[in-house]
């Protein structure tokens, strides 16, 4: 379980607080489970990034992604959004970087099936070359990122330099491994995965804003972290 010292070390930037608040108000971050995950685990909370589904929501999410990218200091030449969820995320994030940070960056995304007429191919947007920063919603078993890496590696002048996702659940990838899926991806690919928020951020924010109202939910997250938390 997270100790008091560890909780005190968690810091939330204003954009992270706004992101979590939007997720709570929009029912994107839900409690009252248990919710069965793809892993088969029973989680006390569920995060459904697919519900960032209006103009105002995706605008705020993109602002948070852009802030996380700037905070990270990661250097890149082009953003890449894997189909399908990464497509609106990468376009909106590029707009947020231009509007809020004065950074007019190139972006690209893929089709699931290659187009055989017109311009052809399965890539749309800017040329996929140089240092590529992938924008996606989550990393679980790493399947989606593996597909993105294959696309990037197929380009002569492109290389993956990092990944930005919505949430790090901070839990073990398997029962046998103490590492998270994110840590495994980082080690295997030699890159850094940046999350807009982590489970610890959510717990911290819930303690700060809904400690009495959601005490049971907060304690259930602590317990889940104790059982399944990654090293």
Contact 105, 129 (CB under 8 A): no
Contact 194, 69 (CB under 8 A): yes
Residues 6+ apart with CB under 8 A from 15: 63, 64, 67, 68
Active site residue 117: yes
Rounded distance, CA 162 to CA 169, Å?
18
Rounded distance, CA 210 to CA 187, Å?
36
Rounded distance, CA 178 to CA 171, Å?
8
C-alpha R_g of the chain: 18
Catalytic residue among 7, 42, 115, 187: 115
Contact 139, 189 (CB under 8 A): no
The token pair at 78 is: 């082009």
Residue 218: CA count within 13 A, CB half-sphere: 17
Residues identified as active-site: 115, 117
């Amino acid at each position: 379980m997270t100790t008091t010292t560890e909780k005190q070390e968690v810091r939330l930037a204003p954009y992270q607080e706004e992101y979590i608040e939007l997720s709570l108000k929009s029912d994107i971050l839900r409690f009252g489970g248990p919710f069965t995950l793809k892993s088969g685990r029973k989680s006390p909370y569920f995060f459904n990034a697919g519900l960032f589904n209006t103009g105002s929501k995706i605008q705020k999410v993109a602002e948070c992604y852009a802030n996380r990218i700037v905070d990270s200091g990661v250097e890149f030449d082009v953003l890449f959004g894997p189909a399908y969820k990464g497509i609106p995320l990468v376009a909106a994030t590029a707009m947020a970087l231009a509007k809020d940070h004065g950074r007019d960056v190139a972006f690209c995304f893929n089709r699931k099936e290659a187009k055989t007429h017109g311009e052809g191919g399965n890539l749309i947007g800017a040329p996929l070359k140089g240092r590529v920063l992938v924008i996606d919603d989550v990393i679980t078993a790493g399947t989606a990122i593996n597909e993105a890496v294959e696309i990037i590696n197929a380009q002569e002048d492109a290389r993956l330099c990092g990944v930005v996702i919505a949430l790090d659940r901070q839990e073990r990838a398997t029962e046998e491994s103490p590492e998270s899926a994110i840590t495994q991806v980082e080690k295997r690919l030699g890159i850094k995965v940046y999350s807009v928020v982590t489970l610890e951020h959510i717990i911290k924010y819930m303690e700060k804003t809904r400690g009495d109202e959601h005490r049971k939910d907060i304690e259930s997250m602590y317990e889940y972290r104790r059982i399944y938390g990654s090293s």
